[in-house]
Structure 1
Amino acid sequence: MSCRYAVVYDKKADDDDDDDDDDDDDDDDGDDHVDEGDKHGDDKDDDVYAGEHWSPSPHQWELLMGLQPIEERQRISRFHFKKDAKLALAGRTLLQHAASTALNQPFGMILFGRTAEGKPYVKGPDDGRHVMPWYNLNLSHHGSWAVVAAEESCLVGTDVMTVKPQRMGEDAETFLNDFVDCLTGHEWNQIRKVGRDSNALLFAFFVFWALKESYIKAVGIGLGLSLTRIEFDVEEELLSSRPRDTHGILRRNAATMKLDGVTRSDWSFEVGQVDEEHVMAVACGPLSDAIGSFMQALRARAKLEEPPSRRGDIPGEVQLKYLEFHELLGQELGEAYGDGK
């Protein structure tokens, strides 16, 4: 089961809400959109959740907080700014929805752990059913969006980024100069080919940034890998064209990766725009590439099951499904959430 979810936690969010694996979000570390579920059908591989500007009432906030384990409630309550607490709670709710749906568990029954590097993973419940023993998922948030990607037979990582300079009033060139050492010369050459338009340059840069982050998050390494060890080739058409009618679509196999100069054809990547201002990337690769602490966590749940063979990817597009926030909670909790407006 492959799935992709996203939630708008703040339509006018500041862009300093980043997603560091060992920081204050749920990374491995959460416009109006039409519901794409009916348009594209429910049998697609990937789903995206999108909602309105999220302003939960005190009752709704307490309902969602009450579904979190005590350590998560304490963590969320420590945020100084309300928008950061909202982001953390939206992301946690999104993680729970993705895992409970995939593993056929009531909302709130999924137990999560964290590796030493801060990557969340599914720890339980251990109910003896052994459903999807290698299931793993990944959360990212930035700007107005929190996103989750999940897989049952391969590692998965995701990253979402706002396509604009991250400091107010900064021009594109000044911003990009700060990241010269984060991308390889070959990657910068691809970015410069899009021309001199600031928006085009920023879009191309954040495609590469999101791709690199998605890989790092998938393997669970956190901040321990130099970004220049990873090099991407991205289809020129994807970098030079941003048609509005492709929002909500992730293009499969539009990018290839080299790690330490070696092409890794056993990894595949999805790239697309969640909306006009946010780019999203998803990385999928062999379970054997997980770092030690993450593999140990995966094996603890899988028990004697051996990792499955890497699933094959079909070139094409991943359609994203848009839902409403209350739909993340299931019928009973969703009704209680709706009654608390």
Structure 2
Amino acid sequence: MVKHKCTRWAVDLGSWSPTLQQLAQALAVIQPEERVRLLKFHFLDDYLSSLVGRLLMRKFVSTNSGVKYEDVKFARDIRGKPYWLQAEHETHSQQQLAFNVSHQGRFVVFAGITAQVAVEEDENITASSTTRFGVGVDVMKIEYSGGRSLAEFFRIMRNKFAENEWRYIKRSHHNEMDQLQAFMRHWCLKEAYVKELGVGVTIDLQKICFTVDVTRALAVGGLPLTGTILRCNDMPMHDWYFEEHLLHPKYCAAIAFKNCKPIVKSFELLSIDDLLIETEDAKSVAILDTCRNVLKKQRKTW
């Protein structure tokens, strides 16, 4: 028997103006190659969003494995998807982890699954013999800011949706805002699904058809909608389970679970200080110099 527990975290960066000390504490615990990767971002907001995503992954692994926060290491698979680089003695643990992170606008979201194999019930069960489980998460801002009209945007994006999806998005009683929210809900679900697969939106999205939960309206801070149904190539996908969340009136999020169905909960909102620890490395000249240069980056407006 395998018991799955889900961690759902969200960080609102909208009101965060990082101090030199905070940024140094954050950079000190991530790997050198991650610091290099972050430098590609032109805007401070994108830099901070990606940095916070890395901190959320570390907090999750450290909390659930007992490994020191600063000692958690990650690598990337051939698809570029991060995974926990376990030490040899940790690979035999009965506790297995899966996680995913996403960010857009002011929000960074994280979803993680902890699977505990109950070996006491059957000594023949091992972590390696259980069905592979996974999780994907995505967050979308419910707005359209493109140069074209919304109608033209919908025309261009039409071939990314199944007929049933598009009928729901363009329902006659939906005004323009309702259509936009319905569009973003479906897109968020598709992104969460393909992120768990690790393939990005390179597959035929028209073959992925979601029937969204319409039993009640999404509510900020409320429990997620859980009645979403997925069909791929017109075949029901019974090994997938979905949650839809509303983090803010303008931000929706979706979580895709493969081969697991955790207890339903809302996202827990974390502060930046929840992700930081004090280390001697944070006082190094090199890291402080990097932080000063980062803080000179231009900010976006929300």
TM superposition score category, shorter chain reference? 0.7 to 0.9
- Alignment size in residue pairs: 261
* TM-fit CA distance, 1:226: 1.4
Percent sequence identity over matched residues? Answer: 28
Given that 1:156 and 1:218 are in contact with CA atoms closer than 8 Å, whether structure 2 keeps it comes out as yes
Match of 2:253 in 1: 280
1:252 CA drift (Å): 4.8
Contact 2:241 2:261 in 1 (8 A): no
**Is 1:248 aligned with 2:221?**
yes
Aligned in 2, Cα 1:116/1:60: closer, same or farther, shift over 3 Å? same
* Aligned equivalent of 2:267, options 317, 320, 336: 320
- 1:257 Cα offset (Å): 0.3
Q: 2:10 matched to which residue of 1?
A: 6
Secondary structure of 1:251's counterpart equals coil
Contact 1:254 1:271 in 2 (8 A): no
Please give the alpha-carbon distance, in whole angstroms, between the structure 1 residues aligned to 2:172 and 2:86.
47
What is aligned with 2:68?
106
Aligned to 2:141: 162
Q: Return the alpha-carbon distance in structure 1 between the equivalents of residues 112 and 45 of structure 2.
A: 25
Q: Is the 8 A contact 2:191 2:200 kept in 1?
A: no
1:264-275 equivalent positions in 2, closer than 5 A: 264-275=237-248
TM-score (norm 1): 0.70
Pair 1:145 & 2:107 matched: yes
Larger mean Cα displacement after TM superposition, 122-131 or 275-284: 122-131
Question: Is 1:210 the equivalent of 2:163?
Answer: no
Alpha-carbon displacement from aligned partner over 1:22-70 (angstroms, at most 9, x marks no partner): xxxxxxxxxxxxxxxxxxxxxxxxxxxxxxx121112221221111111
Of stretches 97-106 and 177-186 in structure 1, the one that deviates more from structure 2 is 97-106
Matched, 1:200 2:173: no
Q: Equivalent of 2:17, from 46, 52, 55?
A: 55
SS of residue in 2 equivalent to 1:137: strand
Secondary structure of 1:322's counterpart equals: strand
Amino acid at match of 1:78: K
Task: Measure the CA separation in 2 of the matches of 1:256 and 1:236.
Answer: 11
Query: Given the superposition, is the C-alpha separation of residues 234 and 138 from structure 1 closer, same or farther in structure 2, using an over 3 Å criterion?
Result: same
Asked if 1 retains the 8 angstrom alpha-carbon contact of 2:26 and 2:55, the reply is yes
The CA distance in 2 between the partners of 1:59 and 1:146, in whole Å, is 21
TM-score using structure 2 length: 0.79
Q: Which has the larger radius of gyration?
A: 2
Q: CA RMSD in A?
A: 2.4
3-state SS, counterpart of residue 238 of structure 2:
coil
1:233 and 2:206 correspond = no
Distance 1:117 1:284, change over 3 A: same
Does the aligned pair in 2 maintain the 1:5–1:98 contact within 8 Å? no
Shift of 1:248: 2.5
Kindly state the Cα deviation for residue 86 of structure 1 after the two structures are TM-superposed: 1.4
Q: Distance in 2 between matches of 1:73 and 1:81?
A: 15
Note the C-alpha offset of 1:122. Answer: 1.1
Unaligned runs of 5+ in 2: 116-132, 284-302
Residues 1:96 and 2:43 are matched in the alignment: no
